[in-house]
Amino acid sequence: MKLIGDPFDVNPTNVNVYATVEDSQNNLLLYGAYSGDLDFDSSSSNGLLSNPTTTSRYFMAKYSPNGDLIWAKDWVYVSTEDFGRININHRFVLDNNDNMYFLATLYSNENADSIDLDPSDESAYYINFPEENTMYSIIMKLDSELNLIYGKLMDSGLGSGRIFSGLDNGIAINNEVLQFQYVALALGGVDESILIDVDISEENEFLVESYGKEILVNYNLDGEYISHHVLVSGLNDPERPFHTRTSRPRVDAENNIYTKTIYYYSIANGYDRQMVIRKYNPNHELQWEKTILNNDLNLAANHPIQLHSSGLIFLKSTYINYLDLSDFNEGVIYSDPEDSWGTAIIALSTNNGELVHLKNYANNSSYIEFSVTDEELLVSGNYAMQLELGFDSSTIDYTAYNNSSEQFYASYLLSETLGVDSNISKISWTVFPNPTSDIITIQINSLDFSELYNALGQRVLVSKSPNISLSGQKPGLYIIKVFDKSGIIGIQNM
């Protein structure tokens, strides 16, 4: 165990660790931001960093498998100008040679002055901006000693405002291919063309019509464009502006692709927060998709999905008050107390997306992290008052109590049947007949209203009646969302 902290109590330390990653040599890489004095190794002076300001600086430290500090380096100030922000939502990724890849946001000033990206004092790597007062996304590659190899500036359309910023898109290394996933939207839903140059070299240009689309771009590890694929189309709804946040795409041994995207819609009575998990075959054809409702935009997107050799996808979903799992023919899980934070660890079948395991950490648990090994599911996080750690409340063998927020650590053997948390409330409702081209009836105790969506995700009907006519709709796949008086949402394909 290593303690990282303030060695002198001179400059008060404030530190946030954003990610830890193990490289191919089993060294541990630690990445985050700090202010004050920060000591990574109390046994020597080699691990001391000092930043006597209140503005945080990015840092990275490297430890051997035995916990010995190899090096600790700081980088640049966390800022909303000049260098800007490294994407903390998707951490960073490593290739087989332990090179590191970051997605960051840069800001050009009124003169479009160049910026030095290299973290070392001995060398420099300048980025030249095409335009002044503009936000850009950039992909950076550094070697295992934190020396900058390249910085590839992306189309300014991928950095303009909160919709396209680097904080909202994802990068990954899969089969030694650098992948970038983005969503191109226009606030207000105005129909227009959004052309994005997906070739990040300075010499070439490859424009892709991106309006209302979710797109996956493939590069080689030198940042050279290979191909792109449209995963989802028709995302813009003129009546419901929304924000999105993608997670890191994953690829299995058969080259099937798995994605996780949060869609954050603005609706009349608040927000509609959807997490959609999708599987594509190697030809980028959709195999299945599943929707989880009422996720938090930031915390739910932070942790990428993890594939397991048993044929499972593990993911986490953070929520306030409740989480709707009706797309899995399940019900609703709740936080405890009401209107507080909760987090669910969920495992789906890679074959068909069916729910296999679910554990709800309901007690004010917002900062939950997990990792999956060959044999175990490892979970850590915070809780308040009481925490039930068992998957099935009838077989709970440990319950922790505390009057304040505390940390917990839990390990679950995957050889055992974990199952679905029994503390799940079923939504008692149904829609019939299904399928039909005439009138459907919604049977529920306290209907508030319902919404009908076509296969493009466009809302085509809103009704407060339990009887809805489909006679004016085109034949095809539809999704109906049913809201009860308490605000709980049910979802069903038709």
pLDDT for position 396: 43
For residue 115, which phi and psi values (nearest 5 degrees)? -125, 135
**Dihedral sign, Cα of residue 158, residue 225, residue 138, residue 370:** positive
List pLDDT tens digits, range 409-431: 888 888 876 777 766 655 556 77
Q: Which of 139-153, 366-380, 437-451 has the lowest mean pLDDT?
A: 437-451
pLDDT for position 402: 55
Over 60: is that where the pLDDT of 164 sits?
no
How far apart, in Å, do the first and last CA atoms of the chain sit?
53
Most confident of 239-248, 324-333, 373-382, 473-482: 373-382
Report the b/e string of 123-160 with b at 16+ CB within 10 A. eebebebeeeeebbbbbbbbebebebbebbbbbbbbbe
Q: Which of 66-75, 212-221, 419-428 has the lowest mean pLDDT?
A: 419-428
Q: What is the mean pLDDT of residues 423-448?
A: 72
List pLDDT tens digits, range 326-351: 888 777 787 777 777 888 899 999 99
What's the rounded Cα separation, in Å, for the pair 291 and 278? 9
What is the reported pTM?
0.81
pLDDT band at 260 (very low <50, low <70, confident <90, very high): very high
pLDDT for position 19: 79
Residue 98: left if φ>0, alpha if ψ -120 to 50, beta else—which one?
left
What's the rounded Cα separation, in Å, for the pair 287 and 278? 8
pLDDT for position 219: 97
3-state secondary structure of 306: strand
pLDDT for position 286: 96
pLDDT for position 176: 93
Residue in the structure block whose two tokens are 């007949």:
433
For residues 425 and 16, which has the higher predicted lDDT (pLDDT)?
16
Q: What value does the mean pLDDT of the chain take?
A: 80
pLDDT band at 112 (very low <50, low <70, confident <90, very high): confident
Identify whether the C-beta of residue 45 lies closer than 8 Å to the C-beta of residue 72: no
Beta-carbon contacts of residue 139 (< 8 Å; ≥ 6 apart):
101, 102, 103, 151, 152, 154, 171, 178, 180, 200, 219, 223
Over 50: is that where the pLDDT of 107 sits?
yes
